[in-house]
Chain A
Amino acid sequence: MDRELSKIFALLARGFSYPEEDNSSDAFFGAVKEVAKALDIPCNSLSYTEPELREAYTLLFINEPRGRWAPPFSSVYLGGEGILMAKGQDEARNFYLEAGLEPAVSSEPEDFLPTELHFISKLIENDKEEILSRFLKEHLLKWFPRFYNRLKALEPHPYYLLLAEMTWKLLNMISQEVIDETT
């Protein structure tokens, strides 16, 4: 089960990354759909073109003309300043280092949602339950709900809403289990 769960977080991490060939393929959508089903989240057929998702992604997560976007970086939600590379970045980085990991070269700040989701995938893969428990409780669950609420309020593209709903549900499930277990 852990192997699958780890893969599911890797899947969500890729889902929240900019659409490219591998994460806008039928196989990818198929896997998203199966996981949604397992999570009891209704979803119709997922068939989107890469350009469609690219525009939707840019509007939601990069820059949006009405100023209605949901920055996928924890620092924007933590620490009160609303800027990048703030408290969220420090927290995330410290957790990564504690787990003996460091983000590979990437153009985004390290507290990018896909990076954090990928980190969970790694923790599950490497059986680092205690760090996972703290990472969720002390960091991710402090900001993800705010990101999720902000996203929902934007009436976003249904695909990204689905990914967010899946993430939220999964985080709740896993946190109940790991936080209960380790506290």
Chain B
Amino acid sequence: MKRRNFLKLSASACAALAALELGDRPVFKAAYAKARQAKTSLPGSLGAKETPSVCEMCFWRCPIVGKVKEGKLVKIEGNPKSPANGPRVCARGNSGVQLLYDPDRIKYPLKRTGARGEGKWARISWDEALDEVAHNLIKVKEKYGPHALAYFDHGASAEFMRDIFKTLGTENYTNEPAFYQCVGPAALAYLMTYGYITTGTRQYVDMKHAKAMLLIGTHIGENVHVSHVREFIEGLSNGAKLVVVDPRFSAAAAKADIYLPIRPGTDTALLLAWTNFIITEGLYDKDFVERNCSGFHELKKAVKDYTLNWAAPICDLPVTDMKRAILLLAKNSPNVSIHPGRHSTWYGRGDTSRHQALAILAALFGAVGVKGGLYFPTPVKKGHLSFGCAEEEPETPKKSLSEDYYPFASTFGSPTSKIIQATRTGKPYPVKLWGINGVNIIQTIPNPYQTMEAIKKLDFIFCEEILPTETAIWSDIVLPGATYLERYDTVYTYDLLTPYLTVRQPVVKPMFETKSSFWIARELAKRAGLKCFNYNNEVEFIEEELKGAGLTLKSLNEKGGIVTYKANPYRDPKKLKVATEEGKIMLSIEDFADEDLDPIPKFIPTPAPPKGYVRLVYGRSPVHTFTRTMNNKWLHNEAPENHLWLNDKVAKKAGIKDGEEVVLENQDGYRSWPIKVKVTPGIRPDTAFMPHGFGSRSKLLSKAYKQGASDQFMITEYEDDPFMGASSHRTNFIRIVKAGRVIDLPELCPPPKEIPRFSAKKTRTGGK
């Protein structure tokens, strides 16, 4: 080039440039690859390098393959060798590409420079970020004692950092919102009845081979877990009959033979009336119960007053329909899937009992260990890992946040509501540091206003995050986590009807300065002076786990990244032995009685809506996983905002039209962001429904911010489950604000006298 005359540089400019040292980092090197010739390159994902791995767009963990071309992920498909999902993934599984390449991602370690919640950061180095977190962990522990540290986590990769908190000696080393805001009550009920967690992350219910199924509030199809939905649909296509109990005409209800639009909060009344009915009518499996169950006589006595006639006004269901439904299930027993449910933190009191009642119903039908019923996991063998972190449980403080409040909490950690309370009030002891990993706590735990208030009281808060969520913007230090597509995790085994073993491995190298959870935890432990994590990297411990299964990473990958095993889900009812202390299915749970809790479920009504309000319930959008996927472009395009389902008769009387934009006001006077109304006969007049996860309050999420309304910000009133301290989410009520005017909603199905009405402490109005 010769003619650069357009720019006249002075002598001093030339001198300044000549003198400049621009560091010595090489930006370019000689290329080995050749430029792609547009004509010769294969279209789409053809010719891509395929790496088997495991999806984490939700926590079902479907085996996948990532297809990579020139270092770029171009497509995700199901692993064709997977016996569970095969080549299929759901909409979210497909959209992992958009998470990986989302420009809004957290790219570097960040340090807060503005106020908490403002989201103003400066990029810092990993050294500085890790040193600061480690320094604060030690400082807070020394000043207030180990229990002042609390950790909120979700997902397998968050477990590495859990070990740090445990090793530091806090009893609050795990406060999984996934447990205390989701599966807790159901998991406990089944653990105590059957000796294993029939429902938690997974549901061991054989819908594929069922002759009839019962779903209570479970909306499979809107809640998408690929193999679970497939088994449900296979069951239906094989001719299974379906009973759906739900205040809302869900996707599953649309496929039901009998749909019971129950009054919310009365499911246990229905279940106990059914239990009594099948006992008195002799429709239960006497042999099975006699041989395998304990506590039948106590049960029989406890439920004798719960008749269908008693239940009818409470549940707001006709006796004939309730009877038809239970007869249909009885006729097909024992091959009936009494679905154990999953998300069960609904009303606080009575949540564990409701799932206990479901567990009992399955046992009375003998629908356990048989085709179509509940079944047993098939454990897949793998090597045991010893990270060298604290193996012992930390010493319990004088007053424990866990077992001193709720007798069955400690098995699962400390209830989130208690951590937040202790942080806010300093009682029974101060909590001064929070670590958060894999969960957006502000959009997950009831009463986000209290959560934010608690955060303001902390000495220090940090998180590992992929996206700048509400939780990230409240953190002092944000550690950029690699997505599931950029990291290894541990070996995953699937112990359901089609057992397999697979491993999550990176399909591309991490973007920006993001790091794997194991790397972060290990570095942090080192800096906090903890003896933890004996392995140098993930591959080392993965090899150890695989050794236990007679595999290596290489041999596993040669087999397509997955190996399958034969399932052992069923049992001979004559030789059934379950893992409870007695070896029997517990129809009456003495351990509950020992703690002054009901050993057999009772119906405890949850208060009905105050006049002018309807109950707010929520559920899943089929293309989203909570708030986690809201900023994902493809998924956002599919479902950009949520709608409020409102009963058509109620809407007509209140003068609200379909598609109209309104604001919701809850019983405590808190107002939502604008949301459009879906007017439909598919919901009861005393209930309103909205899909969960929308209405993000983080402006850094450019696609999700302010799209629809957040149900979580309407959930300010909650009650803890007395068994294990999970917090209720369906104990809130809304009315409508249209064009600034508050509209009381008409009451079209008033509660019977057995159900008290909710009385607000003091109903505030107007703009919160």
Q: Does B739 contact A (CB under 8 A)?
A: no
> Across the interface, do A65 and B30 meet the contact criterion of CB distance under 8 Å?
no
| Neighbouring A residues of B21 by C-beta, 8 Å | 22, 27
Known: A96-B31, A101-B30, A124-B1. A65 touches B7 (CB 8 A): no
Q: Is the CB of B29 within 8 A of A104?
A: yes
Q: In the bound complex, do residue B72 and residue A63 qualify as a contact, i.e. CB atoms below 8 Å apart?
A: no
A7-B19 Cα distance, complex, nearest whole Å: 11
B132 at the interface (CB under 8 A from A): no
Q: Does A154 contact B (CB under 8 A)?
A: no
B114 CB-CB contact with A under 8 Å: yes
B122, A31: Cβ atoms under 8 Å? no
CB distance from A7 to the nearest CB of B (A): 5
Contact with B along A92-108 (1 / 0, CB 8 A): 01111111111110111
Measured CB to CB, the closest approach of chain B to A18, in angstroms, equals 6
A residues 67-110 touching B (CB-CB < 8 Å): 67, 71, 73, 75-76, 81-86, 89-90, 93-104, 106-109
Asked, given contacts A4-B9, A4-B14, A107-B513, whether A115 binds B103 with beta carbons under 8 Å apart, the answer is no
Kindly supply a per-residue 1/0 record for chain A positions 160-182, scoring 1 wherever the CB is within 8 Å of any chain B CB and 0 otherwise: 00000000001001101110010
Once bound together, how far apart are the Cα atoms of A35 and B633, in whole Å? 40
Q: Is the CB of A89 within 8 A of B120?
A: no
List of B residues within 8 angstroms of A37 by Cβ = 10, 13
Give the complex CA separation of A18 and B121 in angstroms: 13
**CB pair B23 A64 closer than 8 Å:** no
In contact, B20 and A102 (Cβ under 8 angstroms):
no
Q: Is the Cβ of A55 less than 8 Å from the Cβ of B122? A: yes
In the assembled complex, the Cα of A34 lies from the Cα of B9 at a distance in Å of 8
Decide yes or no whether A141 CB sits under 8 A from chain B.
no
What CA separation (Å) do A179 and B107 show in the bound complex? 36
Q: Which residues of B, 476-523, contact A by the 8 Å Cβ criterion?
A: 511-513
Contact of B4 among A5, A27, A28, A66 (CB under 8 A): A5
Contact pick for B122, options A22, A54, A108, CB 8 Å: A54
In this assembly, does B554 line the interface, its C-beta being within 8 Å of a C-beta of chain A? no
- Tell me the minimal C-beta distance from B112 to chain A in angstroms: 10
Contact A103 B19 (CB under 8 A): no
- B592 interface residue (CB < 8 Å to A): no
Bound CA–CA A64/B701 (angstroms): 10
Cα distance, A89 to B97, chains bound together (Å): 15
B411 to chain A: which residues have CB within 8 Å? none
A178 to B5, CA, bound (A): 12
In the bound complex, do residue A58 and residue B122 qualify as a contact, i.e. CB atoms below 8 Å apart? Answer: yes
Which residues of B lie under 8 Å from residue A63 when comparing CB positions? 104, 106-107, 110, 119, 121, 468, 700
- A124 to B3 Cα, complex, angstroms: 11
CB closest residue in chain A, given B38: A94
Q: How far is the CA of A181 from the CA of B231 in the complex (A)?
A: 66
Pick the residue among A18, A73, A93, A98 that contacts B70 (CB under 8 A).
Answer: A93
B102 interface residue, CB < 8 Å from A?
Answer: yes
Check A64/B33 contact, CB under 8 A, given A7-B20, A38-B9: no
**Known contacts A1-B7, A67-B700: A82-B633 contact under CB 8 Å:** yes
- Chain B residue numbers with a CB within 8 Å of A173 are 6-7
CB of A30 to closest CB in B, whole Å: 5
Q: Check B748 for interface membership: any CB of A closer than 8 A.
A: no
Contact at B5–A1, with CB atoms within 8 Å? yes
Instruction: Please determine whether B119 and A38 come into contact, CB atoms closer than 8 angstroms.
Output: no
Smallest Cβ distance from A26 to chain B, in angstroms?
Answer: 10
B28:A58 contact, CB within 8 angstroms: no
> Which residues of the other chain, A, contact B70 by a CB distance below 8 angstroms?
90, 93
Chain B contacts for A98, CB-based, 8 A: 35
Question: Is A119 in the interface zone, CB < 8 Å from B?
Answer: yes
Known: A38-B9, A63-B121, A65-B119. A94 touches B36 (CB 8 A): yes
Q: Is A144 an interface residue (CB 8 A)?
A: no
Contact of B17 with A14 in the complex, beta carbons under 8 Å: no
Structural contact, B103 and A101, CB atoms closer than 8 A: no
Q: Is the CB of B20 within 8 A of A100?
A: no
Q: Are B511 and A84 in contact (CB under 8 A)?
A: yes
Is B108 an interface residue, CB under 8 A from the partner? Answer: yes
Known interface pairs A14-B23, A51-B122; A58-B29 also in contact (CB < 8 Å): no
CB of B537 within 8 A of chain A? Answer: no
Residue of B31, B34, B120, B513 touching A101 (CB-CB under 8 A): B31
Interface readout for B228-252 with A: 1 if CB under 8 Å, 0 if not?
0000000000000000000000000
- Asked if A22 and B7 make an inter-chain contact with CB atoms under 8 angstroms apart, the answer reads no
A162 to B180, CA, bound (A): 52
**Which A positions have Cβ atoms within 8 angstroms of B?**
1-2, 4-5, 7-8, 10-11, 13-14, 18, 20, 22-23, 27-28, 30-31, 34-35, 37-39, 51, 54-55, 57-59, 62-67, 71, 73, 75-76, 81-86, 89-90, 93-104, 106-109, 114-115, 118-119, 122, 124, 127, 129, 170, 173-174, 176-178, 181
Q: List 18 A-B contacts (CB under 8 A).
A: A7-B17, A10-B22, A14-B22, A27-B16, A55-B120, A55-B121, A58-B110, A62-B121, A63-B104, A65-B118, A65-B120, A86-B101, A97-B35, A102-B28, A102-B30, A104-B28, A107-B108, A170-B7
- Closest 7 interchain pairs by CB? A65-B119, A34-B13, A1-B4, A102-B31, A97-B35, A84-B101, A67-B699
A-contacting residues of B (Cβ < 8 Å)? Answer: 1-10, 12-14, 16-23, 25-36, 70, 72-73, 98, 100-104, 106-108, 110, 113-114, 118-123, 468, 473, 511-513, 633, 699-702, 705
Apart from the given pairs A7-B20, A85-B100, A177-B3, 9 other A-B contacts in the complex at a CB distance below 8 Å: A11-B20, A20-B23, A30-B16, A34-B12, A58-B110, A62-B110, A63-B119, A107-B513, A174-B6
